[in-house]
Amino acid sequence: MNKPDPQVVLNLIDAFRWSKTMFTATSLGIFDLLAGNGPTTAVDMAKKLDTNEDATQRLLDGCVALELLQKTEDLYSNTPAADVYLLRDSPDTLTGYILYSNAALYPMWGKLEDAVREGTHRWTQVFGPERELFANYFKTDESTRTFLQGMHGLGQLGSPVVARTHDLSRFASMVDLGGATGHLAVALRRRYPEMRCAVFDLPKVIAVAREFIAREGVEVGLIEGDFFRDELPATDLFAVGRIFHDWGDEKVLYLLRRMHEKLPPGGGVLIVEKILNEDKSGPLSTLMQSLNMLVVTEGRERTVSEFTALLAEAGFPHVEAKRTGAPIDAILATKA
């Protein structure tokens, strides 16, 4: 009897090695050095980084095999994808999320077995009881900027698509709760120039958002506050992007009810999250993100029916869910 192809298993054995190779090259600043200095040999790169020559060449060659670098004779240079997504000063950079993945997600995923046994996140186990998850992201100006840069890079891939997914022209105003760098608010403002858009987030986040939005040349309001504790502003439409998957149903319901109280009849909530298939058979990236939420937070990814049940309980009977084709999906719910 013919044996099944082992490649699927072999690829998964290698997969974490591929990720860690990119994480390490990004953390060391290899892509930025190549962008700034041009094609460079492994020997020169090792001198710039103060690293071992042989080990540096192995890392560079690994990046070539992963199609992140190009090699001509003994000179290494960035691929076009590296120049767009792996340079820290690129407007489309994903380095913030890569650095966050390397420093936080990678060690916590090493405790996945414990997370599955206990059904709880691994933050305390890995980093200690004194380091609360979200407070740690905003502990210093550097950690705040790194985390928000990561969220911005992901947002840039999805927010322009989300802005086109539903017809939101009936809403005169929108407030993005936990809107981070304002990528969704900017996308909506560009799509609907008459819509008044604002970001509501913690003071440290708003300070960074102000810089990102200024570069976009689009008028977006900035409101400091904690959506769990402070009074929410009046608006026709609330947006919540990658927020609900951080929390269990009880906290999601609490936030939905707070929004419901502020919205007028016919007001809406735009939920920007990955959507699981009803039988939870996929998509693969959403299932992996749900495991990520197990390891890192109190939350998980949800199906349309799970969102619909929560929304109905909070007073939003009309729900329209759409897959966007981007790395994130969109659900529009309206108040009766």
> Which active-site residues does the annotation give?
245
Instruction: Give long-range contacts, CB 8 A cutoff, 24+ apart: 54-59.
Output: 59/21, 59/24, 59/25, 59/28, 59/30
DSSP track, 228-286: TTSPPPP-SEEEEES-GGGS-HHHHHHHHHHHHHHSPTT-EEEEEE-EE-TTS---HHH
**321 with 311: CB under 8 angstroms?**
no
Separation between Cα atoms, residue 126 and residue 110, nearest integer Å? 9
**In the chain, what is the greatest distance between 2 CA atoms, to the nearest angstrom?**
67
Residue 39, amino acid: P
Helices and strands (H and E) in the chain: how many: 16, 11
Separation between Cα atoms, residue 290 and residue 302, nearest integer Å? 8
9 φ, ψ (degrees, to nearest 5): -75, -45
Pick from 80, 89, 73, 81: which is nearest to 36 by CA?
A: 89
Structure tokens given for 60: 């560079």
Give the torsion through C-alpha atoms of 31, 34, 36, 38, to 10 deg.
-160
How many residues are given for the chain? Answer: 336
